[in-house]
Homo-oligomer: A and B are copies of this chain.
Amino acid sequence: MAKTNPGRFFEDYSVGDVIKHAVPRTVSGGERALYHALYPARHALYSSDEFARAVGLPKAPLDDLAAFHIVFGKTVPDVSLNAVANLGYAEGRWHLPVYEGDTLRSESEVIGVKQNSNGKSGVVYVRTRGLNQNDDVVMDYVRWVMVRKGNLDAPAPETVIPELSKVIDPADLVIPAGLDFSKYDFDLAGETHRWGDYEIGETIDHVDGVTVEEAEHMLATRLWQNTAKVHFDSTARPDGTRLIYGGHVISMARALSFNGLANAQMIVGLNGGAHANPCLSGTTIRAWSEVLDKAETSAPGVGAIRLRLVATSGGDAFALKGEDGKYKPEVLLDLDYWALMPV
């Protein structure tokens, strides 16, 4: 009996299955420091315990995207080891900030399957939940991937395609308990622009760029215990390159967006996202944002802002798709998320 994990193939997923993913992880100040070393992250709420306390939290949480990467990383051996493509995200919500000492684990429920017409692969939809040591959900999101069939003779399952919201209703966003931006310190946060200063449709070029090295994206991807071999093994792809984990691009772009969105502090919703083109070492990642929507919240001084975050490898800011409707080759990421800002 082979002892190594071959991963699951398309025919191994059935709607209703719940997969308990392996390797829980306790986070410490080490993960926080590494996040700041890997990305130019400067949002004050995640950098300073004092700033976090001044807005009603017990101390600075782990960056929301670090929590996402940890939850996501655990799903890779069960969900995407034999994946051909990561197709999309939806209905992602952060329910609880993650603090030093918390232990995270993940589980995924299969909520949809659809075999492709070629009979060689299919699309699998999972809803993944990240749980802490108290079995509280810290975040959940839907992801769908295209997975190869292992046995081409396996019968096609009944097609189930889940109904997914294109955008999370702002009323469904979870505001962390106690969050209060009414005494927010804009000097310490780094910018004066508040929620009211942003207009729907406004675009922001985040100006700065970071050239990515192999060592960096591998350190990051290992830290999230993501084992997909294309990120680590230069012999795994015909061209000898290592594909950079898409989440590395998300975190890099989000950190770059500080310059212009320093007060978009907490990420609370992930409406959708596409890894438009692969990113390789040596790329200089840049970012721009577009304000897609705004909403009030019930928390004192806290507004919600819906942002498109686009990472590029250069080219003109604000150019997303060509005349053919496809992403321009320099677009790496098109992410749609909700963040919380002082009003």
Give me the interface of A with B, judged by CB distance under 8 Å.
Answer: 1, 3-5, 20, 22-34, 36-42, 44, 47-51, 59-60, 77, 100-101, 103, 105, 133, 187-191, 193, 197-198, 204-211, 213-216, 218-220, 222-223, 225, 227, 229, 232-236, 242, 259-262, 282, 284, 314
Expressed in whole angstroms, the Cα–Cα distance for A233 and B236 within the complex equals: 28
- Give the residue of B29, B222, B234 whose beta carbon is less than 8 angstroms from that of A29: B29
Q: Chain B contacts of A133 at CB under 8 A?
A: 49-50
The minimal Cβ–Cβ distance linking A191 to chain B, given in whole angstroms, is 7
- Give the residue of B24, B33, B208 whose beta carbon is less than 8 angstroms from that of A50: B24
Q: A40-B222, A47-B24 are in contact. Are A100 and B213 (CB under 8 A)?
A: no
Q: Chain B contacts of A59 at CB under 8 A?
A: 26
- Give the residue of B34, B190, B209, B236 whose beta carbon is less than 8 angstroms from that of A209: B236
The minimal Cβ–Cβ distance linking A132 to chain B, given in whole angstroms, is 9
Expressed in whole angstroms, the Cα–Cα distance for A187 and B60 within the complex equals: 31
Determine if A204 and B33 form an interchain contact, defined as CB atoms under 8 angstroms apart.
Answer: no
Residue among A197, A215, A223 with the highest chain B CB neighbour number at 10 A? A215
Determine if A37 and B190 form an interchain contact, defined as CB atoms under 8 angstroms apart.
Answer: no
- Give the residue of B1, B23, B51 whose beta carbon is less than 8 angstroms from that of A44: B23
- Give the residue of B38, B50, B207 whose beta carbon is less than 8 angstroms from that of A103: B50
Expressed in whole angstroms, the Cα–Cα distance for A28 and B30 within the complex equals: 7
The 4 closest A-B pairs by CB, nearest first: A28-B29, A30-B33, A22-B190, A215-B215
Q: Chain B contacts of A189 at CB under 8 A?
A: 22-23
Please give 17 more A-B residue pairs, beta carbons under 8 A apart, in addition to A22-B190, A28-B30, A48-B105.
A3-B198, A4-B204, A5-B259, A22-B189, A23-B188, A24-B44, A24-B51, A26-B49, A26-B50, A26-B59, A29-B29, A29-B30, A36-B223, A51-B103, A208-B233, A209-B232, A215-B219
Contacts A/B (CB < 8 Å), 5 sampled: A5-B191, A22-B262, A23-B189, A33-B223, A208-B227
Q: Who on chain B is nearest to A28 by CB?
A: B29
Expressed in whole angstroms, the Cα–Cα distance for A191 and B5 within the complex equals: 8
Determine if B209 and A37 form an interchain contact, defined as CB atoms under 8 angstroms apart.
Answer: no
Q: Chain B contacts of A22 at CB under 8 A?
A: 42, 44, 187-191, 262
The minimal Cβ–Cβ distance linking A205 to chain B, given in whole angstroms, is 7
Q: Chain B contacts of A31 at CB under 8 A?
A: 29-30, 33
Determine if B191 and A3 form an interchain contact, defined as CB atoms under 8 angstroms apart.
Answer: yes
Expressed in whole angstroms, the Cα–Cα distance for A77 and B189 within the complex equals: 13
Determine if A24 and B48 form an interchain contact, defined as CB atoms under 8 angstroms apart.
Answer: yes
Q: A29-B100, A232-B210 are in contact. Are A23 and B3 (CB under 8 A)?
A: no
Q: Who on chain B is nearest to A242 by CB?
A: B211
Expressed in whole angstroms, the Cα–Cα distance for A235 and B33 within the complex equals: 27
- Give the residue of B28, B40, B235, B259 whose beta carbon is less than 8 angstroms from that of A32: B28
Determine if B33 and A33 form an interchain contact, defined as CB atoms under 8 angstroms apart.
Answer: yes
Expressed in whole angstroms, the Cα–Cα distance for A60 and B32 within the complex equals: 18
Expressed in whole angstroms, the Cα–Cα distance for A215 and B212 within the complex equals: 8
Expressed in whole angstroms, the Cα–Cα distance for A23 and B46 within the complex equals: 9
Residue among A26, A213, A235 with the highest chain B CB neighbour number at 10 A? A26
